[in-house]
Amino acid sequence: MTAVAEIMDYDEVLRNFDPVLGLEVHVELSTATKMFCGCANEFGAEPNTRVCPVCLGMPGALPVVNGTAVESAIRIGLALNCQVAEWCRFARKNYFYPDMPKNFQTSQYDEPIVFDGHLDVVLDDGETFRVGIERAHMEEDTGKSSHVGGAAGRIHGAEHSLLDYNRAGVPLIEIVTKPITDAGERAPEVARAYVTALRDLLRSMGVSDVRMDQGSLRCDANVSLTPKGSTRFGTRTETKNVNSFRSIERAVRFEMRRHAALLNEGAEIVQETRHFDESSGETSSGRRKEEAEDYRYFPEPDLVPIAPSRDWVEQLRGTLPEMPWERRRRAQEQWELSDEELRDLVNAGALDLIAATVDAGASPSEARSWWVAYLTQRANERGGELASLPITPEQVARVIELVNEGKLTHKLARQVVDGVLDGRGGPDEVIAADELEVVSDDSSLQAAVDEALAAQPDAAEKIRGGKVQAAGAIVGAVMKATQGQADAKRVRELVLAACGQQ
Amino acid sequence: MSTISRDEVAHLAGLARLAVSEEELEKFSGQLDVILDAVARVGEVAADEIPPTSHAVPVTNVFRNDEVREGLSREQALRSAPATEENRFRVPRILNEEA
Ligand SMILES: [Zn+2]
């Protein structure tokens, strides 16, 4: 083991070096079936229950390409402003690893289905940064291994490993950026913003679940440093296992600081994969890449080439939904947001959720209020993102509707939302289970009003004398007596009526 | 035109996880040379305008509908495995040879 490398102060890194980034993102498509066989593509099924001779690599089994996966690949390429190949092939990438039962991965080599595009990424201050896309190609995911006998399920020190092949053969799209050379001090932020923008884009297209926590969106970050004034890229490292947006930013920043410290001492950067540790925020050495990887790619003989006709490509272009950046522009206009307000909503990951809530029938201001205030608070308490809260925009819209109909007070509405977040069903189910509906039955309310007036004769007298603002105390007492389940507006009407003020 | 060296054969054997003895390395590099020479003769007749061919039939775009089809039961899938544990395939230590 080498000693833990010193790291350089970030400002000093920037005074001496220019960072170069390359980001490889793997996206699992949310097709019904796998890439080359009809097994269900499903997260979380019982181990080895979504397998067949093809995805288990049994002798003689023949793959057939999933047409929907090809469509998704082309659509992703179009959304990323890429060219679509006129003709391309699959290739075998040969290596041995137990998570890959065929002993090769069916992938694409020098003929990716889409190439040469870009994605415009909005940074935290609203500035747009263009990230070039080198290519995106189709391939298949591997099985999932768990390691037995090592510390905390780690592969190091494990005695043996167990394989579940449900994920083997799930369609993957690998999206590779061109080298990002001009991000400078903002390189870590650009890396985070790019993957976030890609996630938003893929989610709006409905081609993937894009859940970093479940591995349906994975990012490998290549980092190297070029000394100021030089044009040659330095040796790069590839950090894997980065599974949140924030971690991408931290990992890139850490690698920049580590490389700089080593280069400063005259040491060499080892070309290797590195693992990011969420808790320490540091990377550690993984597999060395001493020899260039030798995968002996060759064209896949069992699959015929793909030649997307231009008609088909144009037809697929027509299926692209409104892109997130278009949606943002439209939201800003329709909801009359300032640039800062828009940026805050985007950074909070709230914009698409609010838009979907508006689409489900809520007013923009009510939708915004729920997502930005109460739900953001709940998300923070859970330490997660807004989008991963277990409540849908439709459910939020339903709660808003019930409030507007007077069936829920704001207090009750929050209780209903909490019930949904706790996994107790939709709003209507929570209301029914907890009997949360507003008490608007006048006879039971009248009794409570009479009681409150009798208990506070001074206030009652003032109201009778025309000081209607004194009604607040009586309304408060009734709300307390009904445990917040009464419709406050109706209570006020009853109080005023009882005192001859209506 | 001898094209493959002994070292290359050893390298390929390593990649393919084949235990090849010293004598076999000698023997195989000679045999592989003969094979490569034979295949290389194709290049003598292929002119620049002939694209490399990977598939013998001029067929493209063979796709399957994205519909789930019944696969193997877990019992069937695991039946031929040398070892299983917790309904998974059990394999020997992975990092052995790389460590
Ligand atoms: Zn299968």
Query: What is the distance between the alpha carbons of residues B84 and B87, in angstroms, rounded to a whole number?
Result: 6
| CB-closest option in A64, A89, A162 to B89 | A162
Q: What is the pLDDT of residues A262-298, one digit of tens each?
A: 999 999 999 999 999 989 999 998 866 555 578 999 9
Tokens coding A442 = 């006048």
Is the Cβ–Cβ distance between A379 and A389 less than 8 Å? yes
Contact A156 B61 (CB under 8 A): no
Instruction: Give the separation between CA A288 and CA A271, rounded to whole angstroms.
Output: 7
**What pLDDT, on a 0 to 100 scale, did the predictor assign at position A230?**
87
pLDDT at B98 > cutoff 50:
no
Rounded Cα gap, residues B5 and B36, in angstroms: 12
Please give the pLDDT value at position B3: 78
Write the pLDDT tens digit of every residue in A220-251.
999 999 999 888 889 999 999 788 999 999 99
User: Looking up tokens 């903002």, which residue turns up?
Assistant: A186
**Least Cα separation, residue A55 to chain B (angstroms):** 10
Q: How far apart (Å, rounded) are the C-alpha atoms in residues A424 and A12?
A: 52
For residue B67, the chain A residues in CB contact (below 8 A) are 32-33, 38
B-chain CB neighbours of A308 within 8 Å are 61
The domains located in chain B, with CATH, are 6-45 (1.10.20)
Closest to A176 measured CA to CA, from A18, A402, A21, A406:
A21
State yes or no: pLDDT of A329 exceeds 90: no
What integer is the mean pLDDT of A127-153?
A: 91
pLDDT of residue A395: 95
Q: A313 to chain B: which residues are within 8 Å by CB?
A: none
Cβ contact A47–B88 (<8 Å): yes
> With bands split at pLDDT 50, 70 and 90, how would you rate the model's confidence at A143?
very high
Q: Which two tokens stand for residue A381?
A: 């308490």
* Residue of A84, A14, A144, A169 lying closest to B89 (CA atoms): A144
Q: How far is CA B26 from CA A468, B23, B40, in A?
A: 107, 5, 21
CA distance B93 to chain A (A): 4
Which has more pLDDT, A260 or A466? Answer: A260
pLDDT of residue A289: 59
Q: What residues in B contact A305, CB-CB < 8 Å?
A: 54-55, 60
Distance separating alpha carbons of residues B11 and B25, to the nearest angstrom: 10
Give tens-digit pLDDT for B25-81: 999 999 999 999 998 888 888 777 887 788 888 899 999 999 999 999 999 999 989
How far apart CA B29 and CA B6 sit, in angstroms, is 6
Give the residue from B64, B86, B87 with the most A CB atoms within 10 Å of its CB, the best one to mutate.
B64
What CATH number should be reported for the domain whose range is A442-498?
1.10.10
Which DSSP category does A388 fall into?
A: G
Give the nearest chain B residue to A162 (CA atoms).
B90
Given a contact cutoff of 8 angstroms between Cβ atoms, the answer to whether A329 and A304 are in contact is no
Q: How confident is the model at residue A153 (pLDDT cuts 50, 70, 90)?
A: low
Q: Give pLDDT, residue A13.
A: 95
Out of B66, B72, B92, the one facing A51 most closely (by C-beta) is: B72
Interface confidence, given as ipTM, is 0.88
Residue whose tokens read 């050379």: A181
CB pair distance less than 8 Å for B55 and A304: yes
* Closest among A303, A402, A59 to A416, alpha carbons compared: A402
Q: So what's the pLDDT on residue A440?
A: 64
pLDDT of residue A349: 80
| Chain B positions touching chain A (beta carbons under 8 Å) | 11, 15, 17, 54-55, 57, 59-74, 77-78, 85-95, 98
| % of residues, chain A, pLDDT over 70 | 96
Strand partners, A219: A25, A242
Where do the domains of chain A lie?
Answer: 10-315, 324-434, 442-498
With CB atoms and an 8 Å threshold, state whether B86 touches A47: yes
Q: Residue A113: pLDDT above 80?
A: yes
Comparing CA positions, the residue from A191, A202, A204, A260 lying closest to residue A227 is: A260
Mind listing the pLDDT tens digit for each residue in B3-15? 788 999 999 998 8
Does residue B97 surpass a pLDDT of 50?
no
What is the identity of the amino acid at A233?
Answer: F
